[in-house]
Structures are given as structure tokens and as C-alpha cells.
Amino acid sequence: MSALSLRFLPVLVRREHASLAIKLLAPPVALGLATLLNLGLYLLMGRDPVAVFHAMLLEPFLSWASFSEVLLKMGPLLLIAQGLAIGFRAKVFNIGAEGQFILGAIFASAIPIWLPQATGQWIWPSMLVLGALGGALWASLTAFWRVRLNANEILVSLMLALVAAQLLNYLLLGPWKDPAGFNFPQSVMFQYDAMVPTLIPGTRVNVSLLIACALSLAAWLFMQRSFAGFKLQVGGLAPRAAGYAGFNEGRAIWISLLIGGFAAGLAGAAEVAGPLGQLQRSISTGYGYAAIIVAYLGGLHPIGIVFSALLMAALYIGGDNAMVSANLPVAAVRVFQGSLLLAYLVAIAFVRYRLEWRHAAHGSAP
């Protein structure tokens, strides 16, 4: 049987100390690797890789108009990823943020849809709060299933995301459909006071980006400076030690999922109360799934996530550019996202391991 072991390959050897330099280098290296791989793919598809590279990775940063769109896209990604990263560090894998995002959008839309005549500056803040609560409520189902029924949170949260998408369809094709909307699956346009105020004049960037940044700071304080955050991290790194220390596992799961759902719900609310101004079927272009990549690429660290959210937002805008200028299908963005995460996971392995070529004299398998 030992003939099957691949002796000609180098082996991973654990480092004595985790390498901080590699931890910082891993995201840019992964980006370079993923870029090379994807440009190769575009070449095979008969596209001009230089043009795609320019449209996808440079153009978003070259003009203020497109950079402001990047900032707009960054808001929801940043919010969702910060919430998810807290859970991921506690080894609570909420991958249904997409559903919590949709529920946030639905809850927030309830106010302008039920009270279309209402005016006043209370409307948009209430929408954000209600949306966040909606996201947390949807996530609490997963938490209940995990803590009380011992069910795997990965599967439950994902299934709930698929249910949420159907719930959105139901509302938009049924009770919440705009009667004057030519049968399109969308709600009425919201009134002016249901809109989050613009942050940078002349752009669509609104106050929700500021909220996302403030919550990033809060996430940093919570994870790095608070005892509750410390307990979550211990639970993730050494569950048995956390058990001996009397840290409640069930509570950690509840906190992780509620924070994740709250943040994703807030992002969903900010999307309908911001750039969209109505509830539509296309409220999310996979933010909930992209945010998982953002969280990992940012090293599950609140500061790293700010940079990775910016990068992922630029990829979205760049992907749209490339679709127009280089005739690249939109799906190319998902391929890029997936390969970027894979490249990062390879690069990050070298934080704890180094490669060593096995010598014939020792270290051979039995």
C-alpha cells in the first residue's frame, strides 16, 4: 500500500512560529495568483486579457464616478462580512447571510409599503432598525436549530437562504407587487423620506457606508478588546478549553448568529432604502455569498475585512465594466471570486507550514 504514498512530493512541515509576514502577504499573493489564472481563462475564451485586466481591476479606481460606485457596493459587503467573521472565528459557520440580507430588505420595505403616505425623518432609521431585526430573526431560526436540535448550522442557514429567496418572489409576485408596475416583480417606489441620506454629494454613496465603517470599529472593539469577544474566540480555537473555563457554547452560537443576522439584515435594509428605492427581485447579487469570501480574505480580522470588502466591491464594478467593454459574461466574476478564495487558502497555509523536500534517508512513510 505504501507505494501509493507520493514520496516525490515535498511535505508540509509545521513552523515553530506562525509567520506574520506571510499572513500579511497572503491576500496580495492570492490576488496575483487568481488574476493570472483568470486571465489565462479569458485568453482561452478568446478575450483580450489586457483589456479585461484593465476593465476589471484598474478602471474601478481610475475615475471618481466609478470609484464612488465601488464605495456604494462596499457598504453591504463590509457589513455582512464583519458580522460573519465574528461567527467564523467562533467556528459558527453561518453561510446563509444571503437569506438574512433578503429578510432585512423585506422587513425594511414593510414600512414604506404599508405607510406610503408617511413623511418625516424617522422613516429611514426605522427601516434600518427593522431590517436588522428581520435579519436577526431569520438567523435565530438557525441558532435554535443548532443549539436546541443539534442541527448543522451550515445546512440549516443555507436552506433558509433558499426559502428566503422564494419568500421574496412570493411577495413581489403577490401581495407587494406594484399594481402600476406593468406586472414586473417589484414593489412600488418608496417615498423620499424612506431614502438613506446621501453622504457624498453628486454620488449615490449614502450614510450606510458610514454606519458600516462605525460597525467595523465596533467589531474590532468587540473581538479584540471585550471579554465576550475573547470567549467567542477561545470557543473557536479550543472548544474544550472553553468548556472547562465554563464558557457557554450555546450562548456563543446564539451571539454569533444574531450578530451575523443583524449585520446582514441591516445591509439588506440599506440596499432597499438606498440605491434601489424599492423592493425588487434583484436586491442581492449574491452579496451574502461574496461576503464569506470577503471575511476569509480579510483574515477574519475587522481591519483586514475593510480592505477585502473594497477589493471585492471593485471586482463587482470591474466585472460590470468588463461585461460592457470586453464582452465578458457576468459569471466570470463568480469564477474570479471562487478562485480568489482558493488561492488565498493555499497562500495562508504557509503561515503555519513550510515546504520541505523529503530526503531518502528519513521521514519516509512506513
12 lies in the binding site for another protein (CB under 8 A): yes
119 lies in the binding site for another protein (CB under 8 A): no
Residue 181 sits at the vertex; the CA angle it makes with 177 and 184, to the nearest 5 degrees, is 70
Output the smallest distance, CB 88 to another protein, in A.
9
Q: Which of residues 263-302 bind another protein (CB under 8 A)?
A: 289, 292-293, 296
Q: How far apart are CA 301 and CA 291, in angstroms?
A: 13
Sign of CA dihedral 40, 45, 46, 48: negative
Contacts with another protein, 216-255, as mask; x by CB under 8 A: ----------------------------------------
List, as one string, the DSSP characters of 209-276.
HHHHHHHHHHHHHHHHH-HHHHHHHHHHH-HHHHHHTT--HHHHHHHHHHHHHHHHHHHHHHHIIIII
365 lies in the binding site for another protein (CB under 8 A): yes
Q: How far apart are CA 218 and CA 25, in angstroms?
A: 26
332 lies in the binding site for another protein (CB under 8 A): yes
Q: How far apart are CA 323 and CA 325, in angstroms?
A: 6
Contacts with another protein, 168-207, as mask; x by CB under 8 A: -xx--xx---------------------------------
User: Which of 136, 171 has the CB closer to another protein?
Assistant: 171
Question: What is the DSSP pairing of strand 353-356 with strand 11-14?
Answer: antiparallel
20 lies in the binding site for another protein (CB under 8 A): no
User: Which of 148, 240 has the CB closer to another protein?
Assistant: 148
User: Given candidates 72, 95, 207, 306, which one binds another protein under the rule CB under 8 A?
Assistant: 95
C-alpha distance from residue 103 to each of 32, 128, 163, 171, 304 (Å): 36, 12, 10, 11, 27
Among the residue ranges 75-83, 164-172, 187-195, 304-312, the one whose residues contact another protein (CB under 8 A):
164-172
Q: How far apart are CA 86 and CA 255, in angstroms?
A: 9
Output the smallest distance, CB 94 to another protein, in A.
11
Q: How many residues bind another protein (CB under 8 A)?
A: 53
- Rg of the chain taking only CA atoms, in angstroms: 22
Among the residue ranges 19-27, 119-127, 146-154, 301-309, the one whose residues contact another protein (CB under 8 A):
146-154
Q: Which residues bind another protein (CB under 8 A)?
A: 1-2, 4-6, 12, 14, 93, 95, 145, 148-152, 154-156, 158-160, 162-163, 166-167, 169-170, 173-174, 289, 292-293, 296, 329-339, 341-342, 345-346, 348-349, 353, 365-366
